[in-house]
Amino acid sequence: MALLEVDRVVGGYGEADILQGASLAAEAGEIVVIVGANGAGKSTLMKAIAGLVRVRSGSIRFAGDEIANAPAEGMIRRGLAYVPQERNVFPSLTVEENLRMGAYVRPDATRAGIARVLALFPDLDARRGVAAGRLSGGQRQMVAIARALMLEPRLILLDEPTAGLSPRFCAVIFERVQAIARAGVGVLMVEQNARPALAIADRGVVLAMGRNRATAPGPALLADPEIGRLFLGG
């Protein structure tokens, strides 16, 4: 049984169900990348797993427990961390306070957590006292991911972590993602930057119109010219 099993989920915001039966699986230490055109439901699927969007039917199992429609507040305790695409840091809190928020539900793990994530993102150390809203896009992204890693989650959900970032930062982010996976954390990532993302993916999932189109190891998807033309912009 996989760490995360999403089985034919139907759901969305309000009355419209963007997701029309999406499925995927992710294991610890694996990088699973979700790609697809705009409006395909990639972010919606992430939000459904994170408990922020209603699931009408289907199931989402994490470490054996059914979590579809479970409250979002409880996810971090289960070991599931979510990094939204936008507004993923607390702008008026300092970098350090943002990280501390990552350990909110287990405050005694804060010190160890900060030490660990700063080892992964050393650039943040010098900026501990800076308000997160004042950071550049790339630095904010690092704070957001670092915050999610504070309590050693078993699975981390990253929604378009490289959106709007310079190519240099993109490379840094992808490299860190691999480091995170090597440490045993499962990574489920939505990416618009499909090519470099699929290159590092153990598994790629192509979503279109709210359901799966293809699932295969990342490089295999990359190599498939049909997939490339239809969903990855040639």
Query: How far apart are alpha carbons 133 and 140 in whole angstroms?
Result: 8
Query: How far apart are alpha carbons 208 and 140 in whole angstroms?
Result: 30
Least distance from another protein to the Cβ atom of residue 105, Å: 4
Least distance from another protein to the Cβ atom of residue 92, Å: 5
**What six digits make up the tokens of 93?**
């809190």
Query: How far apart are alpha carbons 60 and 46 in whole angstroms?
Result: 11
- Which of residues 50 and 208 has its CB atom nearest to another protein in the complex? 50
Q: Which of 42, 140, 147, 176 binds another protein (CB under 8 A)?
A: 147
Query: How far apart are alpha carbons 4 and 7 in whole angstroms?
Result: 10
For the window 169-208, what string marks contact with another protein as x by the rule CB under 8 A?
----------------------------------------
- Which of residues 14 and 234 has its CB atom nearest to another protein in the complex? 14
**β pairing state of 4-12 and 54-62:** antiparallel
Which H/E stretch holds residue 208? Answer: strand 203-208
Extract the runs of DSSP E, i.e. beta strands, from 27-154: 31-35, 54-62, 65-66, 80-83
- Which of residues 7 and 97 has its CB atom nearest to another protein in the complex? 97
10 near another protein, judged by CB under 8 A: no
**β pairing state of 65-66 and 80-83:** unpaired
DSSP-based three-state secondary structure for 28: coil
Least distance from another protein to the Cβ atom of residue 168, Å: 26
33 near another protein, judged by CB under 8 A: no
Q: Considering only the stretches 65-73, 121-129, 179-187, 206-214, report the one whose residues sit in contact with another protein under the rule CB under 8 A.
A: 65-73
For the window 71-110, what string marks contact with another protein as x by the rule CB under 8 A?
xxxxxxx----x-x--xxxxxxx---x--xxx-xx-x---
Report the Cα 184 to chain-centroid distance in Å: 15
The site for another protein (CB under 8 A) is made up of: 50, 52, 71-77, 82, 84, 87-93, 97, 100-102, 104-105, 107, 147
